Amino acid sequence: MKKVILSCVFLLNMTMAFAQKFIWDKHEFEAVNTKVAIVNMDGIQVLKVERDLIAFPFDEKNIDTSTDGPTYVKLTNVAMENGTIEVKMLSRIMENSPFPAARGFIGVAYRVNQENKNFDAIYLRPSNGRADDQLRRNHTIQYFSYPGNTFSRLRKEATGLYETYADIGLNEWIDVRIEFQDEKAVLYINNQKSPSFIVTKMLGTSKTGSIALWVEIGTVGYFKDLKVTKK
């Protein structure tokens, strides 16, 4: 019986990895530069997402041009200017990661245009949250906009304005809520009353678009309980 169950799960993973569009939790998604599977975790069906390194190659010697890009699963038929995104996410660093400095990068993109050429995003680096190095802790949460405003550019030019600390870790469910309105975005973590992160002026050029669940290099990301509310 165990062999049969494992075979079915493997077949599902292979099918989802090569699908352009799929249904999860009553929503239709499009996989963009990612490998996707619906898996059982503690008796619940969750979405598993990894970056597809064939569709979107990674060059460790050229970080700026090969990270912070469209590597996500995107909701189809959604156009949203302002609103709220709520989702639970868990990340792990994959075995034999192609990037030794992987931090479990996982987050949410929004105002994603139809061609996947413009969007804003906020993501987490869970392994930084409880590091012994304070500088690493300061880089636990990150905002960026695509294209152009990568984490490395903002770190150099904005002196910490677009990243901050949070008490989070790998291999644990993190409750995330992002509220975005006009130029401002606010992030709440684990149902705290006060925001963990405030972006006063977003830099993206897309004023409306879809929502996407985002991962980066070396990450195995899991998502559940997605809720999107237009404002």
Query: Confidence class of residue 196 from pLDDT cuts 50, 70 and 90?
Result: very high
CA distance 231 to 219: 31
Residue 9 has pLDDT above 80, yes or no: no
State yes or no: cis peptide before 147, omega within 30 of 0: yes
- SS3 state at 143: strand
The neighbouring-strand residues paired with 45 are 40
pTM of the model: 0.91
pLDDT at 4: 31
Asked if residues 49 and 34 have their Cβ atoms less than 8 Å apart, the reply is yes
Residue 7 has pLDDT above 60, yes or no: no
Per-domain boundaries in the chain: 2-230
pLDDT, tens only, 163-179: 999 999 999 999 999 99
pLDDT at 159: 87
Q: How far is CA 74 from the centre of its chain?
A: 11
Residue 153 has pLDDT above 70, yes or no: yes
Dihedral sign for Cα atoms in the order 223, 173, 103, 177: positive
pLDDT, tens only, 52-85: 999 999 999 998 889 999 999 999 999 999 999 9
CA distance 156 to 195: 24
Asked if residues 83 and 177 have their Cβ atoms less than 8 Å apart, the reply is no
Asked if residues 70 and 33 have their Cβ atoms less than 8 Å apart, the reply is yes
Query: Confidence class of residue 8 from pLDDT cuts 50, 70 and 90?
Result: very low
Residue 2 has pLDDT above 60, yes or no: no
Q: Looking at residues 4-24, what average pLDDT do you find?
A: 53
Average pLDDT, whole number, for the chain?
91
**Tokens (6 digits) for 6:** 């494992």
pLDDT at 34: 97
Q: Looking at residues 7-35, what average pLDDT do you find?
A: 71
pLDDT at 64: 85
The neighbouring-strand residues paired with 231 are none
Q: Looking at residues 23-43, what average pLDDT do you find?
A: 95
Instruction: Place domain 2-230 in its CATH homologous superfamily.
Output: Exo-inulinase; domain 1 (2.60.120.560)
Query: Confidence class of residue 20 from pLDDT cuts 50, 70 and 90?
Result: confident
**Other residues' Cβ atoms within 10 Å of the Cβ of residue 29:** 26
Which range (14-28, 108-122, 134-148) has the least confidence? 14-28
Residue 218 has pLDDT above 50, yes or no: yes
